[in-house]
Chain A
Amino acid sequence: MTALSIQNLKKTYNNGFVALKGVDLDVQRGDFFALLGPNGAGKSTLIGIISSLVNKTSGLVSIFGHDLDKDNVAAKTCIGVVPQEVNFNQFETSMSVVMNQAGYYGIPRKQALRRTEQCLRQMELWDKRDVVSRRLSGGMKRRLMIARAMVHSPRLLILDEPTAGVDIEIRRSMWEMMQEVNKQGTTIILTTHYLEEAESLCRNIAIINNGQIIEKSAMSSLLSRLHTDHFVLDIARPLSLAPIIAGYDIVLNADTVLDVAVPKSHGLNRLFQALSEQHIEVLSLRNKSNRLEQLFLDLVQ
């Protein structure tokens, strides 16, 4: 069963700007799905329409089989949204932000209190429950929005750049949290500009550019399209010329740094063997850039 199904979705804003030009997208139940695209591509517009914050111009959206227009109560009940920008009442405490949202979903008070505590604890905000929300740090505000989005136990959680501006430690704990939630059966759609995040978390991916989906596939099959890996090698002794090794494209970046393009068909063993023969001692090795990032740039440009 599809968690989200979108057919020929179009959006023209009031000022005439066409933000979505006929988007088709299916996200399977249980998936951890990445929605990627450059600034202004239309990601937030798409999420806005799915979560009833933006009126669509035409097209169909259904969530777990519930049409968003015809069966909107059932459809809305299935979704939790974490928006890109802070949108809670900054004068209320963390606790009442989450409690109110539970109330809007019709959850009776006793049950709402229990769920609110669970969600705030999961987001490590329980200690901050009585703090007025505008006094929370940026990362805490994001976590508060995640807690709020989960209070009614949605089957589909949509996160619009939840890790933007969040420190490394918290980002890692958010990754763990998202994986945990996904493991428990919640379908997740994530947008992010940190492609290594998408690469390590998500199983399927869509790339949107200028209001159109330009790529849809499984993460692994997308990555396997990359035939060349780029590495950076730090070497022990300075060189004046880049070594020449058949099959590999090597550039001397600084006198002790080599950039090497390694075709998948050749692998690394042959490279190291050849380097040893030329008495070049390698101290360390790292990826030049994230693999998904290279593909992304190729596709978007």
Chain B
Amino acid sequence: MNYSVAFLTILFKEIRRFTRIWPQTLLPPAITTALYFLIFGKLIGDRIGLVHGVSYMDYIVPGIILMSVISHSYSNVVSSFYSTKFQRHIEELLVAPVPNYVILAGYVCGGIARGVLVGVVVAGISMMFTHTTILHWDIAAAVFVLTATLFALAGFINAVFADSFDDISIIPNFVLTPLSYLGGVFYSVAMLPGIWQKIAQANPILYMINAFRYGMIGVSDVQIELAFAMTGGLIVFLTALSLLLLHKGIGIKN
């Protein structure tokens, strides 16, 4: 059987969902980003001067873009798949001959679509404040898409385990946001005192942000190969875990 129709049906449904509610999904990141650039870039950044030889404003652009990709690809899948469970229209998929990997691919690609779209909006806004050019398009694009994929998968797993609307905001608030802020969006790890440098290096988001920064402005605190290996490895692991959860029907079937 050809599952492309089923896959596209899920994907378009997901894209329609977040574009229909664009004031909740696309507008807030645009406003937040503009504020970041205004406050950190313009007001504070002018006093900081250069970091690794680039202006502070240019230094923080990649991190801010990637941070919005992370939070939006995650939150798209977690809220969409959780409400699919909650409203029980997951049953529409379960009664039909749709294999689990197609369900997963549909939702994850929906999350990637939102992450990428928001990332592009945020990048567009950043161009109003600074004129960074992208040095390595291929690396930047690869990190961009892989990061969106990874966090869309993580959002899916969160939704599978979630039992209430509170459960879908715990991870984003208490894990993702802190890790993103501590992932070197606003500073270089080289600025941290000794022990904190070691601790920061345990944060996977640090690798993605630095790899993306390398792609955009050619500056990184970490090895790019390591960042790709780590992101790729996590994607493989979370994909396997998601498929296992779907196969067992955890949180979905009695």
Instruction: Identify the A interface with B (CB < 8 A).
Output: 13-14, 48, 51-55, 72-73, 76-77, 79, 81, 83, 85, 87-90, 96, 100-101, 103-109, 148, 152
Contacts and interface: CB of A to CB of B under 8 A. Distances in A.
A87 B95 CA distance: 12
Given A89-B84, A103-B10, A109-B5, 14 more contacts: A48-B254, A51-B94, A53-B94, A53-B253, A73-B97, A76-B97, A85-B88, A87-B91, A87-B92, A89-B89, A103-B5, A103-B6, A106-B3, A106-B97
A105 B254 contact: no
Among B5, B10, B93, B96, the most chain A Cβ lie within 10 Å of the Cβ of B96
Contacts of B91: 53, 83, 87
Interface of B: 1-3, 5-6, 8-10, 13, 84, 87-89, 91-98, 249, 253-254
Nearest to A92: B13
7 contacts: A14-B254, A55-B254, A76-B96, A87-B91, A96-B13, A105-B6, A106-B3
A243 to B, nearest CB: 57
A81 B8 CA distance: 23
Contacts, number: 71
A105 B7 CA distance: 10
Contacts of B10: 103-104
B16 to A, nearest CB: 8
Given A54-B254, A55-B249, A90-B87, A100 B13 contact: yes
Query: Of residues A77, A88, A89, A106, which shows the largest number of chain B Cβ atoms within 10 Å of its Cβ?
Result: A106
Question: Lowest 4 A-B CB distances belong to which pairs?
Answer: A103-B9, A104-B96, A87-B88, A73-B97
B79 to A, nearest CB: 13
Nearest to A99: B9
Contacts of A52: 94-95
Contacts of B87: 87, 89-90
Nearest to B3: A106
Contacts of A152: 96
Nearest to B254: A54
Contacts of A85: 88
A103 B91 CA distance: 14
Nearest to A134: B87
Which of the listed residues B2, B5, B95 has the most CB atoms from chain A within 10 Å of its own CB? B95
B88 to A, nearest CB: 4
Contacts of A104: 6, 9-10, 92-93, 96, 98
B21 to A, nearest CB: 9
A211 B1 CA distance: 36
A292 B252 CA distance: 37
Contacts of B2: 106
